[in-house]
A and B are shown apart, each in its own frame.
Chain A
Amino acid sequence: MDVIYFLIPLALILLICAIGAFMWAAKSGQFEDLDREAHRILFDEDMKPNQAKEKPDSQNQENQ
């Protein structure tokens, strides 16, 4: 049973890592908008721009 003298301190180190990771996630605002993340997967990120490249001129003119 003496293995617990090695395994338990190891578990404690892992515990500290887990708490650290969780604190970092909470502090960097990752839990602030849960609704939005739930939907992110649905969107097709690859569909992007083919035409967007053609039109930047007209958009820039509007901006001026």
Chain B
Amino acid sequence: MSENVPSCYHCGLPCNDSTEYKLIILNEQRDLCCPGCKAVAEAIVDAGMESYYQHRETGTPGSSPAPELVPSFLKQLSAWDDPDLQDTYVREEAKDESSDQSTDKASITLMISGITCAACVWLIEHQLENTPGIIKTKVNLSTHRAEVEWHRQQLQLSDVLRAIGRVGYKAEPYSPLVQETTITKENRQALARIGVAGLGAMQVMMFAVGLYAGDYQGIATQHETFLRWVSALVCIPVYLYAGAPFLKGAWRNIKTKHFGMDVPVAIAISAAFFASIWSTFTQGPEVYFDSVCMFIFFLSVGRYLEMRARHRSIASSIRTSQQGVLMARVKNDQDDEWQLKPADRLKRGEVVFVKAGETIPGDGIIETGITLVNEAMLTGEETPLEKAPGDLVTGGTVNTEQPIQISITKDPKDSVLYTLRRLLDQAQSEKPGITQLADRVAGYFVLGVLVVASVTYTSWYFIEPNDAFWIVLSVLVVTCPCALSLATPAAITTATAKLANHGFLPTHAKFIESFRQVTDVVFDKTGTLTYGKFSIIETVNLCDQKKQDLLIVAASLEQHSEHPIASAFTAQFDSKELLPVSAPRIERNQGVEGTVNGITYRIGSAEFISQMRNGQSPQPPTPHEQWILLATEQADLAWFSIADALRQDAKPLVAYLQNAGLTCHILSGDSSEHPFKVAQALKINDVINNASPEEKLIHIRQLQQQNKRVLMIGDGLNDAPVLAGADVSIALSTGTDLAKVAADAVLLNHQISSLAHVVGVVNKTYRIIQQNLSWALAYNLLALPAAALGFVPPWLAAIGMSSSSLIVVFNALRIQKVNAQLDLKAN
């Protein structure tokens, strides 16, 4: 391709020099690549929404909309008008008290794919607002969801979807997962708590300034009492409402006899709160209401930030793992028409029609049609298997060649897919736990504080019995582990953001700590260490023609074949470069014959070539690889070795990990010798091939029993239970939904070498956590003797607490600076 190929103004993909699709956008003639982009751009311009093009980021909305706009897709949308189908998704708006048109309003949540920036959101909202019949829309940029409310009598659901489709986005009805509803609720509650704590703390601080000033200048007793009373009044809701999570957490910890960070926090705030209340009633020497409110405010903010980072990753992982509703074409008994229906509503005995390239919706037996089925998501093996009438097929596998009809033999609840899901749930529930460093520290901390407090009390009891209680109280306040309990969340929040920048989404709060303890890395082969698709690895030229010419002939022939191997050839060339083939003939699972430039060629297996010549079958150069031969009737031209090629960055990554002292393993479902070859190339010693999901899980368990911490990296459906069972797991974003759900983290870019960044960030984060914890402990140890000797007035305690917390937070920000680059060329 030449260097200055014009790119499509709408989607950014390269388009022809002489493209016939042109449109005036923002007062300039723009080239567009296809009728799809043109239709979308026209719709945008006509509706007066051109400013979308001015404000969108990076100039490209993720993908070309063209395939979504083909008539068959838009037609399929009509299936959504079926009331049965809408059932689960559409919510009837409750009868409006005031209006006459009572049940006409409906609302729905849509999942929209293709949103990349705020401009997309604006575009969709405007498109919908300009559609008559729509009452209200709200598109959420971070979750990619749209809430739409419309008049049912004026507009069908499919019209709503079509309106969004017309500006180039794909919308699908969506029912929010329980998980997401909880996230929203948690988020709102946490915000409300921060609000109460923050506003309350501000007020109490103001009263406290009055009290502190009073300590210096003198203050009338009735004023002091009044200020204490109002402080108490404001502090009560802060303590009871905003402080509730800490009190509850501490109570849980005490019941399970496992001391976490909540215990010392709860002791400190409760002691300070009740003592201050007591002091208010009895006119005691000190009140600590300001400290209580500030503690709660700081800690709530820390927890909130940590929670938000966690929610964000969960939301994105839900987003990447939701591929929408799998639809099945079911034969309608009355009129023998094919009707669309969600796959999870299939019943035993129903007949389903599956087109080539579609996912098989359920377990069943083929009734008519012979095809190739790719079971990679089940077995990890990429070579498709031939299936004829009477053969069993599994839901979730992909029909690659011919249309087939299947009679469903199992209800969705008994299907193989469902069984795998159950295995996954089980593995997840048995996942080995990990104690966080901060929690271990907390245990000793509680003990230490209690010991020091009682020693202080007894000593002061003998020296000055009246002051003993107040000094112990200041010990407890000063030692409130505010910085200590912010130390970990601050570091983890920064690390999560940093990892997300590298295309890496941890979905689990404990990911960083568990990752650091890993001793063994287990890779799945297909799709993880390899690309998961065929390519030409080696060419043996048997004639005097140029290799490139032979490849073009081979690719021209193969373009007529649907077999996955064909893509190894055709992927290398642009369709314009291929030569015309006359009379192409495809022999199933054997090869292709055709005439190019007057010469008849065959490409395929050795047997297929020998059929042409009656007899002698040519010998492939090596016995084990998969060899494809290109030949004419007279002579063999070239052998091509086809295999699932190793990822470019696999080798440096494995070397890097081994250098870092980790043991690498390969666990593959592939039954061939290929895993061994991959292992040899990567210098990995421990390889197991032909492993079922159960066997993979057993293998991981064995490693765990040897006290190893296992990191599993995989992508397939067959990996899902193992991903769930490993100590830490990472799924590739190209992987199946189930794998992503099961994993602790998802790798969004397609480079497994990003793992090197992860190792760098994790190590740095751990160091920062250690520093933070040591600093916080050091601060507490320093302040403790001063408090125990009675030198710390309330205002000094408040200042010390705030500054030690800030230092911890700023230290955590240093994680942003990690730069662990894996040099691909070094190896």
Contact = CB atoms under 8 A, between A and B. Distances in A.
A26 B223 contact: no
A47 B192 contact: no
B422 interface: no
Given A15-B234, A35-B142, A52-B130, A43 B48 contact: no
A32 B230 contact: no
Contact of A63 (B121, B162, B206): B162
A55 B130 CA distance: 11
Contact of A27 (B55, B140, B142, B188): B188
A32 B140 contact: yes
A26 B203 CA distance: 21
Contacts of B55: 39, 42-43
A28 B284 CA distance: 43
B234 A12 contact: yes
Contacts of A29: 184, 188
Interface string B16-50: 00000000000000000000000000000111111
B191 A36 contact: no
Interface string B724-736: 0000000000000
A8 to B, nearest CB: 6
A26 B192 contact: yes
Contacts of A49: 47-48, 130
B568 interface: no
A14 B195 CA distance: 14
Contacts of A11: 203, 206
A5 B166 CA distance: 64
Contacts of B703: none
A59 B46 CA distance: 11
Interface in A16-39: 18-19, 22-23, 26-27, 29, 31-36, 38-39
Contact of A19 (B139, B196, B230): B196
A32 B130 contact: no
Nearest to A58: B46
Nearest to B145: A33
B438 interface: no
A36 B118 contact: yes
B223 A4 contact: yes
A47 B50 contact: yes
A26 B48 contact: no
Contacts of A1: 220, 223
A51 B121 contact: no
Main secondary structure of the interface of B (DSSP, over half): helix
Nearest to B223: A1
Contact of A23 (B141, B195, B226): B195
A15 to B, nearest CB: 5
B187 interface: yes
Given A1-B223, A22-B195, A26-B195, A51 B46 contact: yes
Contact of B49 (A4, A33, A47, A55): A47
Nearest to A56: B132
Interface residues of B, number: 44
Contacts of A33: 140-143
B159 interface: yes
Given A38-B118, A47-B51, A51-B46, A12 B233 contact: yes
A22 B142 CA distance: 22
Contacts of A39: 55, 117-119, 121-122
B450 interface: no
B199 interface: yes
A32 B143 CA distance: 10
A51 B118 contact: no
Interface in B527-541: none
A59 B162 CA distance: 10
Contacts of B188: 26-27, 29
Nearest to B203: A15
A11 B130 CA distance: 46
A50 B233 CA distance: 59
Contact of A55 (B46, B162, B195): B46
A51 to B, nearest CB: 5
A62 to B, nearest CB: 7
Given A47-B49, A52-B46, A40 B159 contact: no
B195 A19 contact: yes
A48 B48 contact: yes
Interface string B187-215: 11001100110011001001100000000
A27 B223 contact: no
A48 B195 CA distance: 38
B196 to A, nearest CB: 6
Given A39-B118, A39-B119, A63-B162, A27 B192 contact: yes
B758 to A, nearest CB: 25
Interface in B95-129: 117-119, 121-122, 126
A46 B46 CA distance: 15
Contact of B51 (A18, A34, A43): A43
Interface string B582-623: 000000000000000000000000000000000000000000
Contact of A22 (B50, B199, B227): B199
Interface of B: 45-51, 55, 117-119, 121-122, 126, 130, 132, 139-143, 156, 159, 162, 166, 184, 187-188, 191-192, 195-196, 199-200, 203, 206-207, 220, 223, 226-227, 230, 233-234
Interface of A: 1, 4-5, 8, 11-12, 15, 18-19, 22-23, 26-27, 29, 31-36, 38-40, 42-44, 47-52, 55-56, 59, 62-63
Q: What are the 7 A-B residue pairs with the smallest beta carbon separation, nearest first?
A: A39-B118, A22-B195, A36-B141, A26-B191, A44-B51, A33-B140, A52-B47
Given A1-B223, A36-B118, A48-B48, 17 more contacts: A8-B226, A8-B230, A12-B234, A19-B199, A22-B199, A23-B192, A23-B195, A32-B142, A34-B142, A35-B142, A36-B140, A36-B142, A39-B119, A39-B122, A50-B48, A51-B45, A63-B162
12 contacts: A15-B199, A19-B196, A22-B199, A23-B196, A31-B191, A33-B141, A35-B141, A36-B142, A47-B48, A48-B48, A49-B48, A52-B46
